[in-house]
A and B are shown apart, each in its own frame.
Chain A
Amino acid sequence: MKGRRLKYLVAGGIVVAALLGMIYSGVKESAVYFYTPSELTQKKESVEGKSLRVGGMVVDGSLKWDPQALLLTFQLTDGQGVVFVRHKGTAPDLFKEGAGAVVEGTWTRDGYFRSSNIMAKHSEEYKPPAHPETLESKKELFKSILKEGKP
């Protein structure tokens, strides 16, 4: 009886050890450090090529979109440091100037952050808009292509 119990304990132990090993290597391989723009501007060289996340506000007026190259460039700030970000591809919903965003990617030798993924942060805090909009005012934006009927 005792021997059998030991056998099961050993078998269970192996399974648990394998699981822990997998978790450990999983964490090690895919851990992503999070920095604020000012932290990143201080570290720069030491984190070159590592996969990171940087979170901050998108600086007003910094957002540029090149539709032919599909290149999105903008600056992220935390009020102290500023990081230049280049992102291949379009931005997700909720991404805009003045709003929070987290980008995932690497710091490059050329002095900018190459982003592979943008996560827009949604602010749940309700602020009534300074100039309330109506459907009509939104419609005005698309005057030139407006038409009746469904797609």
Chain B
Amino acid sequence: MISTLGGFVLFFALCVTLYAVAASVAGARAGREDWLASSRNAVLAHFCLVTLAIFLLEYALITSDFSLRYVVNTSTRGSLTRYKIAGLWGSLEGSILLWEWLQALMATLVVARYSDRHRLLMPYVQAILQGISAFFLLLMTFGANPFTRVFPIPLDGRGLNPLLEVTDMLVHPLLLYLGYVGFSVPFAFAMAALITGRPSEEWLTITRRWTVVAWLFLTGGIFYGGWWSYRTLGWGGYWAWDPVENASFMPWLTGTAFIHSVMIQERKRMLKVWNLILITLTFSLVIFGTFLTRSGILGSVHAFADGPVGIMFLAFLALILLFSFSLVAYRSDRLKGHGELDSIVSRESAFLLNNLVLVGICFTVFLGTIFPLLAEAIRGTKISVGTPYFNRVSVPLGMALLLLMGIGPLIAWGRASLNNLKRNFLWPSLAAVAGAGILYVLGVRQTEVLLAFLLCLFVLGTVVFEFTVATRTRAKTTGEGMLGAFTTLLLKGRRRYGGLIVHLGVVVAIIGIAVSSVYKVEHEQTLKQGESLSVGPYSLRFDGLAAGERPTHILVWANLMASKNGKPLHELTPGQRFYPNQQTPFGSVDARYHWNEDLYVILSAFERDGSSATIKAMINPMISWIWIGGGVILLGVIVAVLPERHLAMLSLRARAQAA
């Protein structure tokens, strides 16, 4: 019943979407306002239909309707309701449906917000967005239908991988999808601008906020994924250069480049073609990443199933690239830049270099990810490159990026004079050198860490310098107090100062990454009851094993008494979870999280009678800084994109409280 209805709803939505594409293009060409109105209604109808499809699938999931194969694959009768709901994005078909729903939601929001204002662009924006939706609906109708029946109907489902039955599953994928889908909006505007022959700065200005918000969701998704991995996967790390991670990182890199290069086009009317290429690349990499991870082509642990889905993704990718590059070529006469680089010592060229480095990192990650495919195709041998390759290439490039992050925001446009350089960079450079010198004296000897600190301190120095100078100047000219001047500064230059706060967050995160990866300490030992192991200043005493029944599994845990320098701290209880019908257990990490150092404990093996247990203990210094940095980035983006009136209200309230 649900199967037939669901399949029909999706097919109907596909028809409506195709109609919307046709009606908006035809309406725009013929200048028929009624056709355009009808296409807008079709966008809305399409959204309603996909919403209905989501409801149907969720209903089947929540009521454990095992006549649908998808429900069998992603839930069991015993699953908690929230994980039954999360089953929607637990496997291929459902996640495509969710993606398509978010895509439909974006299209509806865009239509509601912009159709009055940008009458020339909007029909084509709509057509592009609906075209993307049509692809996903096509995919579901012919390749990955979430409403496929299963026969005979099993008594119980197979359920999600227990690793996914955690609260994080409710957050991380949604953030990523919002980021992915969000980038389709600037892409659609870019294409519409090309089609209508107005490829100037208009599309950039309209989509500026969308892009930054999409970037925020993608960044949040990546950070959250690392945090999730660190807390629950039990290998003590947060990033493994796994193809699935790389798939989200690549569009992030080009998206970041885009956010920066847009500023040069706005200011100097340069890089028009480059910006179009960047947004096309970003959107294509989103699709490519999905292809990589969903086609099973790389045989990663995460990859889902084989089938026609991979080929359809690849065809869609080819279509996007062909379509957008032909459009750029077709409009090349209108894409001549106005400006020229005046000097290599200028903000433009710092931004340009930043773009080059970001795209360079993206290229190396891309190459490393598909390297096994290339090697097998060209030389017939199976070769892969692992973490060492990625670290080797991305660490120096990351350092270069850090340096540019300090220089870019402060160096003068056009041509920086020696005076400008001295005024802006003398103090930050001195502070950075002094700071790194102090660290050296304190015993930090690793080159990477010293260099990372040097550059991070330099960026920090420039940001602090910029904030103090600007606040002081403002306070002097307007007579406001320092705090008032600082607030108005944030309000007046939200984009600039929000961006600087984001840079601060990046610096904090990079310090965390550098220190935690270089100074990590690890120790594994088998302990009999009463014995202790020591790692760094900590010691862990094994006080025996216990087991307990949980709603979905049996938890076995070790009681470990942790102490630091002989002073008892508290008990840590790392464990293993045993699920019915799963032959191997799943780790359950315990840790003492602290702002400067985590003590991270894993129960790797044990004797069933409780007499002994193998414990792996790690000290991860400053790893929390990565998550704190993520929080600072979030704050910065909020400052940068919040509408003026909200911020004005906040500042009024703050002043009222202060008074």
Residue contact B575 to A67, C-beta cutoff 8 Å? no
Work out how many contacts link A and B, with CB atoms closer than 8 A: 167
* Chain A residues whose CB sits within 8 angstroms of the CB of B605 once the complex forms: 65, 67, 90
CA of A81 to CA of B591, assembled, Å: 42
Q: Are A141 and B578 interface neighbours, CB within 8 A?
A: yes
Contacts of A47 in B (CB 8 A): none
Can you list, as one digit per residue, whether each of A79-111 has a CB less than 8 Å from chain B (1) or not (0)?
A: 000000000011011111001000010000000
Contact A144 B609 (CB under 8 A): yes
Asked if B553 and A32 make an inter-chain contact with CB atoms under 8 angstroms apart, the answer reads no
Q: If the complex has contacts A8-B341, A31-B385, A145-B609, are A135 and B549 also in contact, measured as CB distance less than 8 A?
A: yes
- Contact between B344 and A146, CB atoms less than 8 A apart: no
Task: Name the residue of chain A whose CB is nearest to the CB of B544.
Answer: A145
Asked whether B580 lies within 8 Å of A135 as measured between CB atoms, the reply is yes
How near does chain A come to B479, taking the closest CB pair, in angstroms?
A: 46
Chain A residues with CB under 8 Å of B583's CB are 96, 99
B554→A19 contact, CB < 8 A? no
Decide if A150 touches B385 in the complex (CB within 8 Å): no
B462 to chain A, nearest CB (A): 23
Pairwise interchain contact B548-A149, C-beta atoms closer than 8 A? yes
Q: Say yes or no: is B396 at the interface (Cβ < 8 Å to chain A).
A: yes
Question: Complex: how many Å from CA A65 to CA B364?
Answer: 39
Q: Nearest chain B CB to A55's CB is how many angstroms away?
A: 9
Complex alpha-carbon distance, A90 and B384, angstroms: 24
Is A93 within 8 A of B585, CB to CB?
yes
Cβ–Cβ < 8 Å partners of A112 in chain B: none
- Say which residue of A15, A70, A89, A137 sits within 8 Å of B353 (CB atoms): A15
Q: Is A6 an interface residue (CB 8 A)?
A: no
B384 and A145 contacting across the interface, CB-CB below 8 Å: no
Partner of B524, one of A12, A34, A70, A150: A70
Minimal Cβ-Cβ distance residue in B for A149:
B548
Q: Judge whether B565 is part of the interface by a CB distance below 8 angstroms.
A: no
A86 to chain B, nearest CB (A): 16
Cβ proximity bits B363-395 to A, threshold 8 Å, 1 near / 0 not = 110011001100000000111111011001100
Cβ–Cβ contact B386 & A145, under 8 A:
no
CB distance from A93 to the nearest CB of B (A): 5
CB distance from A46 to the nearest CB of B (A): 14
B616 neighbours in A (Cβ, 8 Å)? 89-90
Which A residues touch B547, using CB under 8 A?
A: 139, 142, 145-147
Chain A residues, Cβ within 8 Å of B584: 93-96, 120
Residue in B383, B392, B614 whose CB lies within 8 Å of A70: B614
- The distance from the CB of B253 to the nearest CB of chain A, in whole angstroms, is 14
Q: Give the chain B neighbours of A90 by CB distance below 8 A.
A: 524, 604-605, 614, 616
Distance in Å from the Cβ of B525 to the closest Cβ of chain A? 7
Which of B117-125, B308-316, B328-336, B555-563 is the interface stretch?
B555-563
Which residue from A23, A95, A135, A151 sits with its C-beta under 8 Å from B557? Answer: A151
* B interface: dominant SS: mixed
B356 at the interface (CB under 8 A from A): yes
Given contacts A19-B360, A27-B371, A93-B586, contact A33 B545 (CB under 8 A): no
Indicate if the CB atoms of A22 and B608 lie closer than 8 Å: no
User: Closest CB of chain A to B195's CB: distance in Å?
Assistant: 31
CA distance A81 to B128 in the complex (A): 54
Number of interface residues of A (CB under 8 A): 60
List chain A residues, Cβ under 8 A from B341: 4, 8
Q: Does A42 contact B (CB under 8 A)?
A: no
Chain B, Cβ-Cβ closest to A89 = B524
Contact of A128 with B by CB under 8 A:
yes
Provided the pairs A90-B614, A92-B235, A147-B548 are in contact, do residues A138 and B356 lie with their beta carbons within 8 angstroms?
A: no
| CB nearest to A121 among chain B residues | B301
- Interface size, chain B (Cβ < 8 Å): 74
Are the CB atoms of B304 and A142 closer together than 8 Å?
Answer: no
Do residues B587 and A19 form an inter-chain contact, with CB atoms below 8 A?
A: no
Tell me if A138 and B554 are in contact (CB < 8 A): yes
Could you say which residues of chain A place their CB within 8 Å of the CB of B367? 23, 27
When chains A and B are docked, how far (Å) is the Cα of A7 from the Cα of B608?
Answer: 71
The answer to whether the Cβ of B305 comes within 8 Å of any Cβ in the partner chain is yes
A63 to chain B, nearest CB (A): 12
> Within 8 Å of chain B (Cβ to Cβ): is A3?
no
In this assembly, does A64 line the interface, its C-beta being within 8 Å of a C-beta of chain B? no
* Chain B 546-582 residues near chain A, CB threshold 8 A: 546-549, 552-557, 559, 571, 573, 575, 578-581
B435 interface hit (Cβ, 8 Å): no
Closest to A122 in B: B301
B234 CB-CB contact with A under 8 Å: yes
Smallest Cβ distance from B577 to chain A, in angstroms? 10
Residues A67 and B548 in contact in the complex (CB < 8 Å), given A11-B344, A122-B301: no
What separation, in Å, do the CA atoms of A30 and B389 have in the docked complex? Answer: 6
The residue in chain B whose Cβ has the minimal distance to the Cβ of A137 is B580
Instruction: For the complex, give the distance between the alpha carbons of A57 and B545 in Å.
Output: 32
What is the CA–CA distance of A23 and B581 in the complex, to the nearest angstrom? 45
Q: Do B344 and A145 touch (CB < 8 A)?
A: no
Instruction: Give the CA-CA distance A7 to B547 in the complex, in Å.
Output: 70
**B610 in contact (CB, < 8 A):** yes
> Chain A residues with Cβ under 8 A from B555's Cβ?
151
Q: B602: nearest residue on chain A (CB-CB)?
A: A90
Q: A151 to B371, Cβ gap below 8 A?
A: no
Bound state CA distance, A8 and B353, in angstroms?
11
Q: Find B559's partner among A137, A139, A151 (CB 8 Å cutoff).
A: A151
Residues of A within 8 A of B545 (CB): 145
Complex Cα distance A70/B615, Å?
10
A-B pairs with beta carbons under 8 Å apart, 24 shown: A1-B340, A15-B360, A16-B360, A22-B392, A22-B396, A27-B389, A30-B385, A31-B384, A67-B614, A90-B605, A90-B614, A93-B234, A121-B301, A122-B161, A124-B303, A132-B156, A138-B554, A142-B547, A142-B608, A145-B547, A145-B610, A146-B549, A148-B548, A151-B548
Among all A-B residue pairs, the 3 with the closest Cβ atoms: A34-B382, A90-B604, A151-B573
Interface residues of B (CB under 8 A from A): 72-73, 154, 156, 158, 161, 163, 234-235, 301, 303-305, 340-341, 344, 353, 356, 360, 363-364, 367-368, 371-372, 381-386, 388-389, 392-393, 396-397, 524-526, 544-549, 552-557, 559, 571, 573, 575, 578-581, 583-587, 604-605, 607-610, 612, 614, 616
